[in-house]
Structure 1
Amino acid sequence: MRVMVTGANGFVGRELVRRLLEAGELRGQPIEALLLLDRELDGQPDDRRLRRHFGSVTDPALLRRALADGIDVVFHLVSIPGGAAEAQYELGYQVNLQASLELLQQLRSRERPPVLVYASSVAVYGCELSARMDEGQAPNPQLSYAAHKLMVETALNDLARRGEVDGRALRLPGIVARPREPNGLRSAFMSDLLHAYAAGDAYTCPVSPQATAWWMSARCCVDNLLHAAELREPGAERVWQLPVLQLSIAQVLDALAAAYGEARREHIAFAPDAALEALFGRYPPLRTPQARALGFRHDGSAAALLRNALDLSPRRSRAAARKGVSA
């Protein structure tokens, strides 16, 4: 089994690589080679199964070299995030759209259709959402990033219909808790809030306590990516909206207070940005019966989300809460 991960050095990519190496197999076969593709691959483990391919996914020759010895499964994670893609249209166009289409084109020439798991985004729905949503919600992208994601979904569905690429696309929600560093994500406040509260740092949240978002931990995200690759009979529809936790900032703060202590809530202030909240703070309840029937899932609860996102065991959570209350 030969597996490739594009964007292997990213937040989700690193967790996926770790889990693949730990499992040692995929689709019932041992992983003989795990191909990592990214501009930088610092900090990846020293493992004989790893094949490192340094460079940009926009380089067709790099893709050809990486795929030259054959491929069975590809996890296509690399992208320019929404805010950065909007500010730098040409870069977003090259990475998010052109490179993805080139990858699909190279994969369709294989003798046996490889499995491609594509990380799409809930951004395809735009910000004019129904009061209650399900998997039938029509896409209405209002960012270039989202438009490009939808275009790749369409191409993937078409090649799956033709039997040329065994494509599976997952619409991902906000994945937490990303490192506290500039990343071009306008939804970065979701992760920043968790890190600040856990560390007891002062933080000014750019959306109100009433703002609602869709949340998922990186651990749960990787569970779903691996499950998508493992599906034997995915059916005709190859684009799935994952189950999500719909939580308000207030609910997340309550869970943080339960884990780390009520006293730290005093360090959190609010300065809502109306435009940002319109884009990322008005997500309604979302029903996903089709995805659930296929075995996809969310973290389960706000408390479980924090445990998964911050590597906080129940015992450590209780200890941290007691410490926070007495601080």
Structure 2
Amino acid sequence: AWWRDQRTAALVRALRLRGLPDALVYGSTSGVYGDCGGARVNETRTVRPDTPRSHRRVDAERAVRWFGRSTGVRASILRIPGIYAPDREGGTPRQRLQRGTPVLRREDDVYTSHIHADDLARACIAALFRGRPQRIVHASDDTELRMGDYIDLAADLYGMPRPPRVAREEAERQLPLQLLSFMGESRRLDNTRLKRELRVRLAHPTVHTGLRENAG
């Protein structure tokens, strides 16, 4: 079926056959929530995936949690938003700015969440050692920005022109479907579990400091 994640199913089968690990951390996506209308969401919110990719992640999460429950392996799931990495090719909006890709006007814009790649790595390691059994945690920083404001911030830091703002109807005519899918979902992730349970101290609490790294 199109919504099944066959790779994760194969992984848990292999782990059962070849020897169980002490812990397993699965990197999922915050896209499993679908559009939340800009609401602040925590890990107890019911999932409502809107895309085939998100449906597969929901299926993968179920497989991982069942694997943990049925074997005693401590399985953790990190729901991950937009990852950025200023020291890596394509890790920031720089290329998007160079192309002049439009962003939505403010009244149509969506909230997006972010995590610096180095902080995500810290979260993965913390989950391996401190994650509670079958627990879901948002691997997200403290940023609360609309997508267009995030791109504008990057433009200002890099000394590049801000992109044009367009109405949603115009964006639907101009932009590829994959990009539009991100522009159709608005939510703000609560990262309380990341800090309290996994005890992660973010090196880059917001994109304002994280994007500045190697901004020149």
TM-score (norm 2): 0.75
Q: Deviations over 1:276-314 (max 9, x none)?
A: 55743552333232232122465312222214xxx51xx
Distance 1:229 1:217 in 2: 19
TM-score (norm 1): 0.52
Q: CA distance change for structure 1 residues 280 and 179 in 2, over 3 Å: closer, same or farther?
A: farther
Structure 2: runs of 5 or more not aligned: none
The one-letter code of the counterpart of 2:211 is: L
Q: Is the 8 A contact 1:121 1:173 kept in 2?
A: yes
Match of 1:123 among 27, 31, 45: 31
Please report how far the alpha carbon of residue 168 of structure 1 lies from its aligned counterpart in structure 2 after TM superposition. Answer: 1.7
The equivalent residue for 1:222 is 121
Please report how far the alpha carbon of residue 140 of structure 1 lies from its aligned counterpart in structure 2 after TM superposition. Answer: 0.8
Match of 1:247 among 145, 160, 164: 145
Distance 2:201 2:37 in 1: 22
Q: Does 1:287 align with 2:190?
A: yes
Distance 2:16 2:205 in 1: 37
The equivalent residue for 1:28 is none
The equivalent residue for 1:256 is 154
The one-letter code of the counterpart of 1:306 is: L
The equivalent residue for 2:70 is 162
| SS, match of residue 108 in structure 1 | helix
Q: Which has the higher contact order (CA 8 A, sep 6+)?
A: 2
Paired residues, what number? 201
Aligned 1:167-316 pairs, distance under 5 A: 167-177=75-85, 179-180=89-90, 193-197=93-97, 201-208=98-105, 210-231=109-130, 234-244=131-141, 245-261=143-159, 264-265=160-161, 268-271=163-166, 272=168, 273-274=171-172, 279-280=182-183, 282-294=185-197, 295-296=199-200, 299-307=204-212, 311-312=213-214
Q: Is the 8 A contact 2:76 2:132 kept in 1?
A: no
RMSD: 3.1
Q: Is the 8 A contact 2:81 2:140 kept in 1?
A: no
Q: Is the 8 A contact 2:75 2:134 kept in 1?
A: no
Distance 1:206 1:130 in 2: 17
The equivalent residue for 1:105 is 13
| SS, match of residue 112 in structure 2 | strand
Q: Deviations over 1:243-273 (max 9, x none)?
A: 3333223432453355233xx225x224452
Q: Is the 8 A contact 2:33 2:45 kept in 1?
A: yes
The equivalent residue for 2:46 is 138
Please report how far the alpha carbon of residue 155 of structure 1 lies from its aligned counterpart in structure 2 after TM superposition. Answer: 1.8
Q: CA distance change for structure 1 residues 305 and 165 in 2, over 3 Å: closer, same or farther?
A: same
| SS, match of residue 221 in structure 1 | helix
Q: Deviations over 1:120-144 (max 9, x none)?
A: 1111111244623222211011222
Distance 1:145 1:250 in 2: 24
